[in-house]
């Protein structure tokens, strides 16, 4: 009877509209605890195992970009007065995601932690968020992840920019998964910075504007992006139900596959990640051909 109930719960969860759905903390509390929640947890684990099995032999994205959205809304849905608690919960969750990516065989992960637009939020919130980011980056270093800052560091406070630079220097020779930390990042700003870098580079070589115009192509610009030398993202995941890029990896995502999930970032589960990989594996990537 217990086994049958668990399977029924799992089937209902899979068939419900929007499996990667938003569940607030209060809804979880209202749904009951104890035996019922135990059944549901077991159902999730069974479904998770089934997803893992279904992915065997399928292509895994080399580079996954993640828009970690919904931390503030998660905090409000949990009844928390300070949205920074949501940012901290989301930051803590990053390490689980990186472990899932490493287990799956992903080579590069780009995490959008702070956009150029976010810098216009109330000063107290930005200050608290920057402290959380600094602490998270230091922990990435402590755990041995290879870290690369991705963003306009000149827009950040000196202390934050230095933490990011130090992390890159300290982990540059680490192997394994590469973690791009996008802080002070905006896609339009990145392209502008790439063009500016390209112009400076050719100016030092004595190249005239006319000569540059004759030879300029997309690869010249790509070589000056924040992610130069890396594979473009195969899969971009955005949480919280929003279905837009918001300027994330505008240049690099030209041929990316997208996966939008209703769950707020702190509630994003491994089963949601596996579903994103399954969705990616099921797509036929033609790259315009």
Mean pLDDT across the stretch 211-240? 96
Mean pLDDT across the stretch 235-258? 97
Window from 56-60, 271-275, 282-286 with minimum mean pLDDT: 282-286
Greater pLDDT, 131 or 47: 131
CA distance 160 to 210: 39
> Tokens 């051909």 sit at which residue?
289
Window from 29-43, 131-145, 230-244, 245-259 with minimum mean pLDDT: 29-43
Mean pLDDT across the stretch 118-127? 96
Task: Work out the pLDDT band at 5, boundaries 50, 70, 90.
Answer: very low
Helical packing angle, 123-142 and 84-104, nearest 10°: 30
180 beta partners: 110, 148
- How much is the pTM? 0.85
Give the residue among 282, 277, 211 at the shortest CA–CA distance from 52: 277
Average pLDDT of the chain to the nearest whole number = 88
Please count the CA atoms within 13 angstroms of the CA of 142 that sit on its side-chain side: 8
Residues recognised as catalytic: 69, 118
Per the structure block, which two tokens stand in for 40?
């549901």
| For the chain, percent of residues with pLDDT exceeding 90 | 78
pLDDT 10s digits, 126-146: 999 999 999 999 999 999 999
Report the number of secondary-structure helices (H) and strands (E) in the chain: 11, 6
Mean pLDDT across the stretch 94-114? 98
């Amino acid at each position: 009877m217990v086994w049958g109930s668990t399977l029924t719960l799992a089937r209902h969860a899979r068939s419900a509209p929007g499996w990667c759905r938003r569940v607030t903390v209060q809804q979880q509390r209202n749904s009951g605890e104890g035996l019922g929640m135990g059944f549901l947890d077991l159902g999730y684990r069974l479904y998770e195992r089934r997803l893992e099995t279904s992915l065997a032999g399928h292509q895994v994205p080399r580079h996954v970009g993640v828009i970690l959205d919904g931390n503030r809304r998660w905090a409000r849905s949990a009844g928390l007065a300070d949205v920074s608690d949501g940012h901290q919960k989301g930051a803590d969750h990053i390490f689980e995601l990186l472990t899932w990516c490493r287990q799956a065989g992903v080579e590069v992960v780009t995490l959008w932690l702070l956009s150029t637009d976010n810098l216009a939020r109330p000063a107290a919130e930005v200050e608290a968020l920057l402290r959380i980011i600094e602490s998270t980056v230091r922990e990435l270093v402590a755990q041995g992840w290879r870290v690369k800052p991705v963003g306009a560091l000149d827009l950040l406070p000196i202390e934050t920019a230095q933490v990011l630079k130090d992390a890159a220097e300290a982990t540059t020779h680490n192997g394994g998964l590469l973690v791009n930390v996008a802080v002070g990042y905006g896609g339009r700003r990145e392209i502008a910075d790439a063009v500016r870098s390209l112009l400076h580079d050719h100016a030092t070589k004595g190249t005239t504007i006319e000569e540059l115009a004759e030879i300029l192509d997309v690869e010249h610009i790509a070589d000056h992006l924040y992610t130069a030398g890396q594979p473009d993202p195969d899969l971009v995941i955005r949480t919280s139900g929003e279905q837009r890029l918001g300027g994330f990896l505008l240049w690099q995502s030209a041929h990316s596959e997208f996966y939008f999930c209703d769950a707020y970032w702190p509630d994003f589960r491994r089963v949601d990640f596996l579903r994103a990989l399954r969705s990616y594996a099921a797509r036929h990537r033609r790259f315009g051909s």
